[in-house]
Amino acid sequence: MPSEFRNEAFTDFSREENAQLMRAAIEKVRGELGREYPLVIGGERIETDGKFESINPARKTEVVGRFQKATKELAQRAVETADKMFAAWSRTPAAVRAELLFRAANILRERKHEMSAWMVYEVGKTWAEADGDTAEAIDFCEFYGREMLRYAEPQPLVRVEGEDNRLEYIPLGVGCVIPPWNFPLAIMAGMTGAAAVTGNTVVLKPSSDAPTIAYKFFEILEEAGMPLGVVNFMTGSGAEVGDVVVDHPRTRFIAFTGSKEIGLRINERAAKVHEGQIWIKRVVAEMGGKDAIIVEPDTDLDEAATGVVQSAFGFQGQKCSACSRAIIHTDVYQPMLDRIAERTEKIKMGNPTDPQTNMSAVINQKAFKTINEYIEKGKAEGGRLLAGGGSDGEQGFFIEPTVIADVKPGATIEQQEIFGPVLAVIRAEDFDDALRIANDTEYGLTGALYTNDEAKLERARREFHVGNLYLNRKCTGALVGAHPFGGFNMSGTDSKAGGRDYLALFTQAKVTSAKLRAGEVPAEKRRAV
């Protein structure tokens, strides 16, 4: 049996030996930039006529990797290959499947800084953000491996005399895994690992903004002993080949993390029954948020301001858990604005290869344009620019950490997910008003409350309608096992990734009930002996 699960420790880069290892990894990865990567279906490496490039958002002329544009025919082939492999993989003992994830976790540890360095280049993560992403990927592999062993144990049922009753969790079939670019290793590894360890086979279609890190993890799975065709690697347009996989009658489920618009589109397509389909497809979706931190007067304002700024601008605000709204009680509104502005102005922007960089470029040109439009919209609707607001798209997609004060409830930047370094600050008249504003969006992912009032804390537990609520701490940084993650409303299906319920989403429960013959001992009693 594996040891008790413990979260992977973050790297202390203030220690020179750790910093040297990270610098060496960055140099190693730099020497590998621009390589071409294939599709992989059933173990076969495939190249196509169509290509696309993944670029470094902080240096947009730098190509990170070149990838294949899969065709409709190849997408269909990927599903059919996974379907053929399902019979054998689904019958592979749970312990064998779990051991595969444990080996993958060990390889990730050995290459921890190298995997982080790929994220520095491909998505603009700072050293600390990339290290946290890699640690979380290790956690997912370790946690889900242990969870599979728990799910495979005899499940408790009410005893019926004269019967041998058993419940077991069996896999669903072929799954389409569509991960996001913002946690390109952790979320991708978590969804893929959960699907595979439960006995399903997978068509993995990573984001076109972060395919390289997904391919590197796919190679790790191969090295860990994954049989050919259990996970198939496919890149290309979501609208062209992603839809083919989602629609295919042999696709049994779709695991998706990304925008609300794409998630709803997948959910709608998955609901349609195609010729030859004999099941209702399952959708596991996490679709973002419009997260708020409420600050009451009876709290440490310095601590609250630090939590707001860290939550708002970590990884350029490109987290579904990011604080995009600070709802401040009127009695401490100005003092909090002063503290937020002061901390925001100290954020060091720059190239993420520099260990001193706190914030880098946003992911691509489209995001750069959209975020700047939101900033202008915020000002046009009466918001006051308190900090930032500038941008530089010449070398990379850089937008300053931006704070807009005096935002009115219902304003565009108070309602719509921006997914960038923009914080809207709203004044609340009292705690009732703050809760009303916090809950008045279509999302419900994360939220936080800073107060020393126990009655307010308890009320927030009851009334602050989010999947992950944090009290007197920032609203980002969920840990696998400790903070199962997923939200309400348009934030998705509340999948609770990294929790004890998650693997159930990739399985179905089968009950067998056998009448005992005279003198026959029930299975649970035989196991006890």
Residues annotated as catalytic (active site), given as ranges: 286, 320
Give the Å distances, CA to CA, from 36 to 66, 180, 211.
4, 21, 11
Q: Give the Cα separation of 361 and 59 in Å (integer).
A: 9
Q: Which residues contact 155 (CB under 8 A, 6 or more apart)?
A: 166, 167, 168, 169
Rounded CA separation 125/130 (Å): 5
**Distance, CA of 175 to CA of 203 (rounded, Å):** 6
CA distances from 395 to 57, 349, 351 (A): 9, 13, 10
**Residue 438: DSSP 8-state:** H
Residue 243: CB atoms within 10 A of its CB come to 16
Question: Which residue from 326, 348, 329 is spatially nearest to 404, judged by alpha carbons?
Answer: 326
Tokens of 261: 């618009």
Residue type, 461: R
Q: In terms of DSSP H, where are the helices of 91-203?
A: 94-110, 112-123, 127-152, 186-197
One-letter amino acid identity for 415? Q
CB of 474 within 8 A of CB of 307?
A: yes
CA distances from 37 to 33, 104, 341, 430 (A): 11, 21, 44, 56
Q: Which of 113, 107, 43, 48 is nearest to 74 (CA)?
A: 48
As a whole number of angstroms, the distance between CA 419 and CA 322 comes to 8
Query: Which tokens go with 273?
Result: 């029954």
The closest alpha carbon to 388, from 380, 376, 126, belongs to 376
Inter-residue contact 198 to 508 (CB < 8 Å): no
Is residue 366 within 8 A of residue 130, CB to CB? The reply is no
Give the Cα separation of 209 and 233 in Å (integer).
15
Residue 386 backbone dihedrals phi, psi, to 5 degrees: -100, -35
For the chain, the maximum distance between any two Cα atoms, rounded to a whole number of angstroms, is: 82
CB 476 within 8 A of CB 323: yes
75: phi > 0 → left, psi -120 to 50 → alpha, else beta; which? alpha
